Amino acid sequence: MIREFTGIIEKHGKWYVGYVEELHGANTQAHTLKEVRKNLIEAIELILEANKELAAIK
């Protein structure tokens, strides 16, 4: 299954700040654009996996 999310990345001083509007808790910051993109992908994966495990418990 392919899922698409909207990643928002803004520059604040020396930092890039990224978050995903559709997925509460998926946010990160980094010094480079490449790093913030990588971190966002990792955050999405972790949140989706945690949500999957929580759904299995119920």
- According to the model, what pLDDT value does residue 57 have? 82
- How many domains does one find in the chain? 1
In a domain, 40, yes or no: yes
Residue 58 reports pLDDT greater than 70? no
SS3 state of residue 9: strand
Helix (H) or strand (E) holding 6: none
**pLDDT tens-place string over residues 2-54:** 889 999 999 999 999 999 999 999 999 999 999 999 999 999 999 999 999 98
In a domain, 2, yes or no: no
Report CA-CA distances (Å) from 43 to 15, 21, 33, 56: 17, 13, 15, 20
Can you give the residue range of the structural domain that contains 12?
7-57
d(CA 2, CA 29): 25
Confidence of residue 1 (pLDDT cuts 50, 70, 90): confident
In a domain, 1, yes or no: no
- According to the model, what pLDDT value does residue 3 have? 85
In a domain, 33, yes or no: yes
